Homo-oligomer: A and B are copies of this chain.
């Protein structure tokens, strides 16, 4: 992908390298989320421990990409679209790192939850988590191609995640009422559901950064009934 011609071919190489690192980081985060979910469903404590162990990889990628961005600003003094790309990357990796934290949180639930008996509660998270992983995958794809239409499409997937989340919470609330002694464990599952629902919001943030980069337009904080499509047209 060509981000405009630069006097310095080296600058292009550096920008491209940062972008590749973001995609690698995104891939790792997606894998972490997917492993955490598997660990929860299959009571695979070993896999859950791996997710916790690997969280530092996500963190150190965030730090090193951040440093690379600061270095490139200082050295190359980018303006306009190049600068927007770097700002978009700085913001994107913050969201990716937080999604990585969600994976770790779910992994801890898998480690701490007593095996067999409470699987019914854990299993209720599966469709929600699958949707979140799919949304993350699609937003990374939109990021790789810096595709505004794809970003606008992915943005809207959050509505489905919200609906699924509400259904999960309703189901878990009825489990709670049926058998109050399970409240502590069900709450753990609810916190996980909440964290997964927030993955959708973070993916929406990344969609906004893609649009900001390509269009130079800040579409955060839409007012009232304004949709992402309205914002893109206006």
Q: Which of A91, A169, A221 has the most CB of B within 10 A?
A: A221
Q: Chain A, interface size: which category? A: 35 or more
**A 203-234 contacts with B by CB, 8 A:** 218, 220-221, 223
Q: Please determine whether A218 and B67 come into contact, CB atoms closer than 8 angstroms.
A: yes
B59 close to A220 (CB less than 8 A): yes
| A123 on interface, CB distance cutoff 8 Å | no
Q: Are B83 and A74 in contact (CB under 8 A)?
A: yes
The answer, yes or no, to whether A150 is at the interface (CB within 8 Å) is no
Residues from chain B with a CB closer than 8 A to the CB of A220 are 59, 62-63
A80 touches B74 (CB 8 A): yes
- Identify which of B62, B63, B173 contacts A183 (C-beta below 8 A): B173
A106 to B66, CA, bound (A): 33
Please name all residues of chain B whose beta carbon is closer than 8 Å to the beta carbon of A91 when the two chains form the complex: 90, 94
Tell whether A11 is near chain B: CB-to-CB under 8 Å: no
0 or 1 for each of A13-29: is its CB under 8 Å from B? (1 = yes): 00000000000000000
Nearest-neighbor residue (CB-CB) of A95 within chain B: B94
Q: Which of A54-81 contact B (CB under 8 A)?
A: 56, 59-60, 62-63, 66-67, 70, 73-74, 77-80
State whether B177 touches A56 (Cβ < 8 A).
Answer: no
Is A70 a contact partner of B84 (Cβ separation < 8 A)?
A: yes
Residue from the list B73, B74, B83, B180 in contact with A176, Cβ < 8 A: B180
- Closest-CB distance, A33 to chain B (whole angstroms): 18
| Alpha-carbon gap, A201 to B37, bound state (A) | 25
Given A59-B221, A173-B187, A180-B180, 20 more A-B residue pairs with CB atoms under 8 Å apart are A56-B221, A56-B223, A59-B220, A60-B221, A63-B218, A63-B221, A66-B87, A70-B83, A70-B84, A73-B83, A87-B90, A90-B90, A90-B91, A173-B183, A173-B184, A176-B176, A176-B180, A177-B180, A187-B190, A191-B194
* 29 contacting pairs across A/B (C-beta < 8 A): A56-B221, A59-B220, A59-B221, A60-B221, A62-B221, A63-B218, A63-B220, A63-B221, A66-B87, A70-B87, A73-B83, A74-B78, A74-B79, A74-B80, A74-B83, A77-B77, A87-B90, A90-B90, A90-B91, A91-B94, A94-B94, A169-B187, A173-B183, A173-B187, A176-B180, A176-B183, A177-B180, A177-B181, A187-B190
